[in-house]
Amino acid sequence: MARVPALKFDRGTLVLHPPPRGKAWIDYAVWDDRIERFRVPADKYRLLVSALKADGVRFEDKVQAFEPLDLQDNLTLTPYAHQAEALEAWKKGERRGVVVLPTAAGKTYLAQMVMAATPRRTLITVPTLDLMHQWYADLEAAFPGVEVGLLGGGSRDRTPILVATYDSASIYAEDLGHQYALLICDECHHLPSDFHRSIAEYSISPYRLGLTATPERTDGRHEDLDQLLGPVLYRRTSAELSGTALAPYQVVQLKVQLSAEERTRYTKLQAQRNAFLKASNIWLSSAQGWQRFVQASAKSAAGRRAMLAHREAKNIALGTAGKLTLLEKLMTQHYPERTIIFTNDNATVYKISQDFLIPAITHQTPVKERHSILQKFREGDYSSIVVSHVLNEGVDVPDARVAILLSGTGSTREYIQRLGRVLRKGSDGKVALLYEVIAEQTSEEGVSRRRHAVPKTDTDTGNRQLSLVPNVKNKKESERDKKTTRKEKVRKEKVRKRFPKKKRDFVEESIPIAAEDSPPWPDED
């Protein structure tokens, strides 16, 4: 009597043996000479099972290590219209896909609604420890009858509902892959990276939800989300939710002039940098332009001087004395309203903190001190705080009405995240204000235009995707980009062959960084 084919989970993949009858499964399988068995990628589990059942193939499923949960939720809030619409869109999309909502639009509560509608063992991944603990507290309150655990920061729980950092979930992806039916990725734009994508690729989860304010990545890998989690099913912007789920808001752009001394110095530094770039045939607007500039700066004294000139010019534009003068006027005008001041660097944060006696939060601020500052800000003991990038994502920031953006990057994601810090709807009919302070006739003007860029709208689907415009480059520049890309692929392939999977993730850190992680400032007009 013929043996019944068995489907088993094996370290992030599926093993199918003996080979079943029919041909539908062949499209998903790869022969492994080492074990003389067919392997199937774990993320193809749902498709494979559907194909086998459609072919009428009898098989034994030994993959699943999860079961339905008895979720008694405590969701007492009435969902906003956009949350209910997003939930229905996700259900209609076969419970796979990405929902794009601005900061403060209730993505966490939407996830709880999804969990209540899909009562299965659930893995939630988040980018930071702060956000992990916030999710833990929210889920404990939302589902009091089910044990919620943590993976990361010293915790290694194995519970029906598990909240993990992306880093920890990636490390244990081979073990977690068959234990959870529902995978929720918060700030899912982190998922397509080389290290983190294993969370989805090694998982059999038939149900998947991605949450983010801006899925687009400068390296183009946001397109991989379709495969990892599913397509963008629902999208709303801050402007669309203003006055309903979010507070109405105004964005006020204020320009300051460099002093005569600053202008002279800035012009000289820009000319010095640009002369080197022209002589080296480097275009910062190209995909590999910044990387080549960094490489060139390490190879010659002229390159080093050009890089130092670039950084000094940047610091002049970011920290001009005119900005601090304007900051003083704005703080006087809005006192004692809760105000958050954002800068692009820690040095300016500490200068403002010292000059204006305002509590400062950076990545160097200890966790307990950070929580204490935010709590006092929430309670009204502090009317203003000054921060750098540390509050962009992953931190529950108390309600504020005024945000002052003294400096930032060209990242649309960062801009939306910072705007979202003042968009929580108040009970007093508040109108949020975002002041964007820019040094006139500097590269900051180009940076501002890029972060205000609006994704292209697809009127047929309602989804918005990033509109990619090819850079204008000369022939030599284009050929160099192609050669660099080919070399990069060859190098990565050598790493994959030389090192086992678990070691490879750390070796690849030495490979040149992707555009998503490269400094956004130099992409100047």
Least confident of 11-20, 239-248, 397-406, 418-427: 418-427
Strand 122-126 with 161-165, pairing: parallel
Q: How does the average pLDDT of the chain come out, rounded?
A: 83
In the chain the domains, ranked by start, together with CATH numbers, are 6-61 (3.40.1170.30), 81-241 (3.40.50.300), 249-257+321-444 (3.40.50.300), 260-317+487-517 (no CATH)
Could you give the residue ranges of the DSSP H alpha helices within 68-197? 81-92, 107-117, 129-142, 166-171, 173-176
pLDDT band for position 277 (50/70/90)?
very high
Instruction: State which H helix or E strand residue 98 sits in.
Output: strand 96-100
| pLDDT over 60 at 521, yes or no | no
d(CA 215, CA 413): 8
Q: Identify the pLDDT of residue 287.
A: 63
| Contact (CB, 8 A) for 522 and 289 | yes
The position carrying tokens 């790493």 is 495
Q: What is the DSSP letter of 304?
A: H
Question: Does residue 306 have a pLDDT over 80?
Answer: yes
The answer, yes or no, to whether residue 112 has pLDDT greater than 80, is: yes
pLDDT at 486: 54
Which residues share a beta bridge with 207? 182
| Spatial CA neighbour of 136 closest among 365, 364, 372, 396 | 396
Q: Which of 420, 518, 525, 455 is nearest to 187 (CA)?
A: 420
Beta-carbon contacts of 380 under 8 Å, excluding residues fewer than 6 positions away, are 338
Rounded distance between C-alpha atoms, residue 156 and residue 266, angstroms:
52
The more confidently predicted of residues 49 and 104 is 49
Measured CA to CA, the distance from residue 214 to residue 209 in angstroms comes to 15
The predicted model scores a pTM of 0.77
Q: Please, are residues 423 and 238 in contact by the beta-carbon 8 Å criterion?
A: yes
b/e 243-272 (16+ beta carbons within 10 angstroms → b) = eebbbebeeeeebbebeeebbeebeebbeb
455 — pLDDT class (breaks 50, 70, 90): low
Query: Is 278's pLDDT higher than 80?
Result: yes
Q: With 90 as the cut, is the pLDDT of residue 354 above it?
A: yes
CA distances from 452 to 134, 240, 295 (A): 30, 16, 30
C-alpha count within 13 angstroms, C-beta hemisphere, residue 146: 25
- Beta strands in 288-431, from DSSP E residues, in sequence order: 339-342, 360-361, 384-387, 402-405
3-state secondary structure 212-226: ECCCCCCCCHHHHHH
Question: Which tokens sit at 189?
Answer: 């734009």
DSSP β-ladder status, 207-212 and 182-186: parallel
pLDDT of residue 396: 63
Q: Specify the higher pLDDT residue, 67 or 300.
A: 300
pLDDT of residue 185: 98
Determine the 3-state secondary structure of 439 from DSSP: strand
In which order are the strands placed within the sheet that holds 148-152? 155-156, 148-152, 161-165, 122-126, 182-186, 207-212, 96-100, 232-235
**What percentage of the chain exceeds 90 in pLDDT?**
55
At 395, is the pLDDT very low, low, confident or very high (cuts 50, 70, 90)?
low
State the pLDDT at residue 286: 72
Residue 41's identity, in one-letter code, is P
pLDDT in tens, 478-519: 454 455 455 555 554 544 444 444 333 333 332 232 333 323
Least confident residue range of 130-134, 363-367, 476-480: 476-480
49 class by beta-carbon count within 10 Å (0-12 exposed, 13-18 middle, 19+ buried): buried
Q: What is the mean pLDDT of residues 324-351?
A: 92
Comparison of pLDDT for 464 and 321, the residue scoring more: 321
d(CA 37, CA 17): 6
Least confident of 68-82, 413-427, 433-447: 413-427
Q: Report whether pLDDT(327) > 70.
A: yes
Q: Which two tokens stand for residue 53?
A: 């059942």
The amino acid at residue 54 is A
pLDDT greater than 80 at residue 13: yes
Task: Please give the pLDDT value at position 510.
Answer: 29
Which among 243, 246, 286, 232 has a CA at the least distance from the CA of 456?
A: 232
